[in-house]
Amino acid sequence: MRDGYRVLDVDSHVTPSMEVLHRYAAQPLKDRWEELTPYARKMNSPPGRGHPTTPWHSLRIKPIPYNRIAGQKPDVEKVEKGGAGATEGRVENVSSEICHERIQHDNPHGRLDDMTKEGVDVNVLIPGTWAPGSSALEPFLTTNLYDAYHNYMRDFCSADTKRLKGLFLAPGANIEWAVKEIKRIGKEDWLCAVWPSLPEGLPIDDPDLDPLWEVMNDLHLPIMHHSFFYEPPYFPGYRDIWGNAAIARTAAHPWGAQRSLAYIIAGGILDRYPNIKVGYSETGHGWLPYWLKRLDSQVTYVKGVVPKLKYLPSEYAQQGRIKVCIEAHEGPEMTKAVNDVLGDNCLMYASDFPHPECDWPHSVDNVIKWKGVLGESALRKLLGTNADDYIRH
């Protein structure tokens, strides 16, 4: 609690090293572990981001470096296995304080201490870019990495499953495995949402995914979409971004969310599966009302390409079926504008902890200061109630 508010952070991160994932991998993956060696990148992380102080290895599938300085001539970008991420060495911590070491890896008790210091009741833990990036690997490697991650999440969250919640990673290239696994572990108390990790070229409304939605609907598990921008599956329009990391990151997050949400609605997923909600994190939130209002128009104006929906796209948000995490830099006025158009049931608090954008341990206090603009009821919903309605407890 913080100043009497229940606080759920729906965008907080773990990035287990390859060393940690190996610890939780089943023997068939360990037997083929050397196939992941080309994707291993040695990391030397600065303090304050929850990593080890000693070198560790991260999976980097095929990152686009985005090296062009704006205003300069473009060059050929070299995309390589195990290459540097597009933000590596280019960002500084917003926070001036140091969180516990290894809280992104194998230190859940330090994580809980850091949450308590900031006044956060629940962390929804989201893996780093290696997770969606792994969708580009051979399906055997993808599914076994995801299995290792689920084993890891079970152990990490066991420190306090009321406060630490994780995602199920559902590989779009192996829906049969995903369905079987969700049926097996979907009721475990650490698991609060499902991240469909779709290989490039697979639309989220493809009917091959229907068995996944069916089991999620039975278990009241929501969809989570977290945006990344420099590893597969690359964001919409990535070929035409002209190589600049700042512009790519600005565009990637809302573009990916907008496309995903449009097809979840237009594809009838929310109509056919009434127990499923959909959430978006690290995408910003100011785009939501204009995108849904535009979609309201287009699904009726462009005849014959969208099945008849029960509601207008904007009405699903007003009902609380669509949830989007805020980004603090968009501020209270933008947040109020979203509430004014769509109602106050669709925005959730998020900090990106412990990534460099997060002003830990002041992120919650910064948003509480928005009370004068948002009002008491809307602030309480933003900080906790809407997320409690979204995640599966």
What's the pTM?
A: 0.97
- Residues 234-265 have pLDDT tens digits of 999 998 999 999 999 999 999 999 999 999 99
Would you state the pLDDT for residue 96? Answer: 87
Q: How many Cβ atoms from other residues are within 10 Å of residue 372's Cβ?
A: 9
Would you state the pLDDT for residue 74? Answer: 86
Cβ proximity of 66 and 74 under 8 Å: no
Would you state the pLDDT for residue 393? Answer: 86
Q: Which residues contact 119 (CB under 8 A, 6 or more apart)?
A: 1, 2, 3, 5, 7, 364, 365
Q: What structural domains and CATH numbers belong to the chain?
A: 8-390 (3.20.20.140)
Ranges in the chain, pLDDT < 50: none
Give the whole-angstrom CA distance, residue 270 versus residue 310. 9
Give the whole-angstrom CA distance, residue 147 versus residue 197. 13
Q: Which two tokens stand for residue 96?
A: 């001036």
Would you state the pLDDT for residue 157? Answer: 98
- Residues 340-390 have pLDDT tens digits of 999 999 999 999 999 999 999 999 999 999 999 999 999 999 999 999 999
Residue the block writes with tokens 């590596």 = 88
Number of residues assigned to the chain: 393
Give the whole-angstrom CA distance, residue 198 versus residue 193. 16
The fraction of the chain above a pLDDT of 70, given in percent, is 100
